[in-house]
């Protein structure tokens, strides 16, 4: 069953309301809600007014800055595959007087199913060039550090989507795995929405191509009978008890996520873990040991990745996360490194502090599993160098949780992924 939710409003684009297939998907979701919110049919032309009046985006703030975090407004739309993204986005930006949050506004207009991801900071925070794929924007988990609450925009024309997905796969044969969403957790509205299962079964019909779902959810019961044929990989973000219970209040608890991973593993899915983000709470060492032991006692992941909390300066972190709950020594290290980390995309914790956290996790993992590949996620070259021989392989050829060639049970890449993708995006797809 989908999450118990009480959104204040449900917005339905006119293209959804006009198609019985799409309308039925929305009806199932609305019928499963714990309340009966106002259902509003809207057109593109209504968006500037809805945004200006604060009816859509007022809740798009860091969740931890709110005294009470509401369930997100739900919005249902269709992907437009008409090649007009740049034109329509320019119209909306002018009508709104400019905006931040490009991916969200893409979703409001029905654009952005596929995004070519390669930037120079992929080398500053080591990651991989690839096509990333999207189906939603927003989340119901209310994680305190996140700004993706307030509005959950979902596409519903999955039939058109998988048709275009097939073309993307055919024209980019070098990419073997495709991460579905880093702007949402796509399990929250399923199975009522009825779209994710279609995408999983679409991949079940592919040869040598894999879907990757990244989640904090425990909502997997409905997935057991899908015809996935081993072609879907589920990556769980795992966190210790304090982080999962307090800072990630609607996501699955630590035991719930591990139990869900076990169910998925038993159903034939490849599972893997990211300890991401690792928030160094008071007692983080003990909680890390517990979390690692629990995951490796109950499941057999093919890959584990590690990432200390980053993406913002220390003052912003303290605005979102109660600083009294953070490890005093590591918080002091972040506060003392403000100048050093000012232009570092891995801030707020300095490299020595992050490396110390990774050392502890690595030691705990090796107590329980001597072989599972362990890598760093979106980390700097300097910290990769510090960890050196402890990691399964170097930054050029490691297999990670969601990289474009991280197929199940692969231990190392055959060549540098920047060389594999050196030709850039092909196929005429819009890159944003």
Give me the DSSP letters along 297-314.
HH---S-EEEEES-SS-H
The angle, 0 to 180 degrees and rounded to 10, between the axes of the packed helices 351-368 and 284-298 is: 40
Closest C-alpha among 155, 131, 203 to residue 428: 131
Give the DSSP letter of residue 187: T
On the 0-12 / 13-18 / 19+ scale of CB atoms within 10 A, 68 is exposed
How high is the pLDDT of residue 119?
62
- Candidates 24, 31, 368; CA nearest to 194 is 24
Confidence at residue 104, expressed as pLDDT on a 0 to 100 scale: 86
Residue pLDDT, tens place only, 189-231: 999 999 999 999 999 999 999 999 999 999 999 999 999 999 9
Query: What DSSP character marks residue 44?
Result: G
Does the pTM surpass 0.85? The reply is yes
Distance CA 369, CA 366 (A): 5
The structural domains of the chain, with segments of one domain joined by +, span 9-420
pLDDT of 432: 40
Judge contact between 152 and 74, C-beta under 8 A: yes
pLDDT < 50 positions in the chain:
431-432
9-420 maps to which CATH number? 3.80.30.30
Distance CA 285, CA 369 (A): 18
Contacts of 27 (CB under 8 A, 6+ apart): none
In this predicted model, what pLDDT tens digit does every residue of 132-148 receive, in sequence order? 999 999 999 999 999 99
So what's the pLDDT on residue 268?
98
């Amino acid at each position: 069953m989908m999450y118990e939710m009480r959104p204040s409003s449900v917005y339905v684009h006119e293209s959804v309301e006009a198609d019985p297939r799409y309308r039925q998907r929305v009806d199932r979701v609305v019928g499963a809600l714990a309340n009966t919110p106002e259902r509003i049919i809207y057109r593109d032309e209504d968006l500037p007014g809805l945004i200006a009046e604060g009816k859509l985006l007022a809740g798009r703030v860091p969740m931890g800055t709110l005294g009470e975090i509401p369930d997100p407004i739900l919005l249902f739309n269709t992907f437009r595959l008409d090649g007009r993204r740049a034109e329509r986005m320019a119209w909306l930006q002018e009508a709104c007087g400019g905006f931040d949050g490009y991916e969200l506004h893409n979703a409001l207009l029905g654009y952005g199913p596929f995004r070519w991801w390669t930037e120079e900071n992929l080398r500053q925070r080591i990651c991989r060039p690839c096509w990333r794929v999207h189906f939603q924007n927003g989340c119901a988990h209310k994680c305190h550090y996140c700004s993706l609450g307030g509005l959950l925009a979902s596409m519903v024309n999955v039939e058109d989507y998988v048709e275009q997905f097939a073309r993307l796969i055919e024209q980019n044969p070098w990419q073997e795995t495709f991460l579905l969403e880093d702007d949402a957790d796509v399990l929250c509205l399923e199975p009522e929405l009825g779209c994710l299962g279609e995408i999983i079964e679409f991949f079940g019909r592919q040869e040598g191509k894999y879907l990757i779902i990244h989640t904090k959810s425990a909502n997997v019961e409905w997935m057991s009978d899908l015809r996935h044929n081993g072609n879907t990989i589920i990556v769980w973000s795992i966190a210790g008890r304090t982080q999962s219970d307090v800072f990630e209040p609607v996501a699955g608890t630590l035991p719930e996520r591990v139990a869900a991973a076990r169910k998925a593993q038993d159903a034939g899915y490849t599972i893997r873990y990211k300890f991401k983000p690792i928030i160094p709470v008071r007692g983080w060492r003990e909680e890390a040991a517990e979390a690692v032991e629990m995951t490796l006692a109950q499941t057999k992941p093919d890959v584990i990745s590690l990432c200390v909390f980053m993406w913002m300066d220390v003052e912003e972190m303290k605005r979102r996360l109660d600083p009294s709950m953070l490890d005093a020594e590591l918080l002091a290290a972040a506060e003392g490194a403000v100048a050093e980390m000012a232009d570092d995309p891995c801030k707020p914790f300095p490299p020595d502090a992050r490396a110390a956290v990774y050392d502890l996790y690595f030691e705990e993992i090796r107590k329980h599993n001597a072989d599972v590949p362990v890598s760093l996620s979106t980390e700097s070259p300097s910290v990769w160098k510090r960890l050196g021989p402890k990691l399964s392989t170097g930054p050029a050829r490691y297999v990670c949780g969601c990289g474009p060639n991280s197929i199940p049970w692969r231990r190392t890449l055959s060549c540098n992924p920047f060389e594999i993708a050196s030709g850039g995006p092909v196929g005429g797809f819009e890159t944003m």
